[in-house]
Amino acid sequence: MTSFHICWATLGMTLGACNVVETSTTEQAGTEMQGTEMQGTEMQGTEMQGTEMQGMEMQGIRLGGATLSGDALQHVRVERGEVVAERGPVTLRGTALIGAHFQAEVRNRRDTPPATAVVEYRVTAIVPELSQYDPTHTGNTFLYTLEQWVAATASWQPACRADADGRSVAIPLSAMWDEHGDRIESSSLFTFGCTTGVIAKCYRWGYRPWVTGYGDLTAMHWTCTRLARADYCGIGVPHTRNGTKINVWDNLPAPGPIQDHGGILPPIGMLFEAGWNTGGAVCLSHARWLQDDGAALAALCPDRLVPPGLGATVCDTIPAVLGYDSNAQMFNEAYVNVGL
């Protein structure tokens, strides 16, 4: 499966910072975006969760404190792409949780030191995910329409922007991501990733952390979020560029790959850019180093990426990537605009 992404960048991880537009040669799972948010050829972005929170940074949704029609929900968890909870002796899942209220932990990074707060969310609709976003044919995922309570206006407001399908929805994942882009297992928080953010996009590309049989898809999903944000240094700083298109693929074992390169040769005009792991780019191609921010990248993460020269981390082929990290399993090509 091959797709193309177009993205325009803003640096930083403030949620709700920018919009995403994706285009694809094959409409993968209804995805037509590559942009500045956290999704063969797909789209890049800069946002992880895609949540609409002016100046606020989502930390996670609390597993505790959830209610439905005023009743407390117990044992809230995420299982195979859906939120599950108990209300008394009854297990609720799927659309049975429409109307549920959750408490989210957020942080205002504009304050010094950053202030933490709790924001209330409610689920107003739940629908099954479209089959086109299920390249592994493992089903089960649901899309949640969320609203957040805005005290300043005493009103409920949409928590997600509309995606390429026109839906303002989120996908649940049983982990959280910090400001450095690190995936963190948590016994108290989970994530609702809006489908305009890369957490949900990578999930839709097929890297569902709970799926078995392809190797470690938890690590692959995390790796994908690095690639999809062009977080070369693996420190949470995106480096997407206006108008950039990328071709993404993996070398997962059978029945993989999940994302295929799409041919023997790169798409016309594209060059190999990088190999990736959970820590960011393993190495960068000569063409990528020639771009105007190559020196800035080297200064940003000197212990990880070294420009051409002595001790350089330079790779123009998959074998070269594997020479640096034999476990690297994600790669991309891009239109490289030198000197822009």
Segment 187-204 mean pLDDT: 94
Question: Per mean pLDDT, which range of 25-29, 102-106, 324-328 is the poorest?
Answer: 25-29
Question: Per mean pLDDT, which range of 21-25, 89-93, 139-143, 176-180 is the poorest?
Answer: 21-25
Output the average pLDDT for the chain: 83
- Interval 99-138: pLDDT, tens: 999 999 988 777 778 788 899 999 999 999 999 999 999 9
89-98 contact pairs (CB < 8 A, 24+): 92/68, 94/126, 94/142, 95/126, 95/127, 95/142, 97/68, 97/123, 97/126, 98/123, 98/124, 98/125, 98/126
Segment 198-212 mean pLDDT: 96
65 pLDDT higher than 80: yes
pLDDT of residue 166: 94
- At 244 the three-state DSSP class reads strand
122-130 contact pairs (CB < 8 A, 24+): 122/146, 122/147, 122/149, 122/156, 123/97, 123/98, 123/99, 124/98, 124/99, 125/98, 126/94, 126/95, 126/97, 126/98, 127/95, 127/169, 129/81, 129/171, 129/204, 130/29, 130/30, 130/165
pLDDT of residue 244: 65
Segment 234-249 mean pLDDT: 79
Using CA atoms in the order 235, 238, 239, 242, what is the torsion angle rounded to 10 degrees? Answer: 180
The β-bridge partners of 149 are: 156
d(CA 200, CA 191): 10
Using CA atoms in the order 52, 29, 337, 236, what is the torsion angle rounded to 10 degrees? Answer: 40
Segment 43-58 mean pLDDT: 58
- At 332 the three-state DSSP class reads strand
DSSP 6: E
Using CA atoms in the order 195, 200, 206, 209, what is the torsion angle rounded to 10 degrees? Answer: -160
37 pLDDT higher than 50: no
pLDDT of residue 241: 57
Residue 201, H or E segment: helix 198-204
For 43-99, the three-class secondary structure string (H helix, E strand, C coil) is CCCCCCCCECCCCEEEEEEECCCCEECCEECEEEEEECCEEEEEECCEEEEHHHHCC
pLDDT of residue 25: 26
34 pLDDT higher than 90: no
pLDDT of residue 269: 86
47 pLDDT higher than 50: yes
pLDDT of residue 43: 45
328 pLDDT higher than 50: yes
- Interval 142-192: pLDDT, tens: 999 999 999 889 999 999 999 989 999 999 999 999 989 999 999 999 999
d(CA 166, CA 40): 23
pLDDT of residue 48: 56
